[in-house]
A and B are shown apart, each in its own frame.
Chain A
């Protein structure tokens, strides 16, 4: 387990996702990387049923990562940007099924990223195509440096690697997820979260990055997300019945 950075790959005009994936995997293979299986990250969102007294609705995101096949990750989001995360055994999925009275699944927002997995030295590179309800949404590139546990130590290495096979400039700053972020707390005030780039990296951080990207894709319904890197999304608080495809106030760890 090491530092992982998740990057959306901007789709050029007139190129299909399959073409880009094929192109990138050819580049990786000619760089000397080896093909090492497949991967899958999926995310399902449950929304609490409206209750009397107008309590704010909550969203529970349940994610699976094939890199950690025995775990189910869940993130509770109360709409203010504050998130409570939990790692549980796979049986957690069955528990969620029992809770249909309080949490209803939003099947139409089930989203996943799947594709090929490559290894190069201690790097693991995953080229994932994101699909929601069988609709292609975009390409997410995950790069993990297994032997380092702190982003600020190895960001320059990861950046050089990314630039090497993507063939484009990657900004020098740390990715959005790792920098200081503002969230809205329960009182409606702005609150600064401390930057994560000097923290020990945990598998949950990977999952949270996926959730952040998935949320962006869900918001851009029917829009090709090009260059969504660095797009900061303001937390939105909406009742669950408002718009299909809009996650409720999530996207902010």
Chain B
């Protein structure tokens, strides 16, 4: 029985020592609501991925292209599966059809990726705001602990609340690092699609 409280106190002290730095990350760039290391690029642009003039026309108007985008886009589809779908789409097309349809397929894949990315970015922002509130809570508890209640029971209770809030914060930081990777994974997959589409374009 004696070991447990001393372990709890040690953990609380450890967290107390390690937290101020973690709870107040330096401002990373011009957007305080964006917690990820890399600066946010709100939308992926066609020009950052596709050489030459952008695609001309509406990809939805081409039923085959719209069907291909529907196969590529769901988040459960891996890059390899999507690239395979592009392969089957491209195979029967002649050079003229490829020149016309592949840029449209790119436009569709880009639009779908941006839509999914928007949703992820909004989730990350919400998460960051929650995390900021949690950091504020930890700091308040730390301020209460510093002079410290005289009553040992009250102090133990406060330490426990502080320890719990601090652990939640640290766990959420880990989740956040993972969450920050989700839009990057979408971009990587889109890059794979772009390479497959460009490789199938006939030389001019």
**A associates with B:** no
Q: Interface of B with A (CB < 8 Å)?
A: none
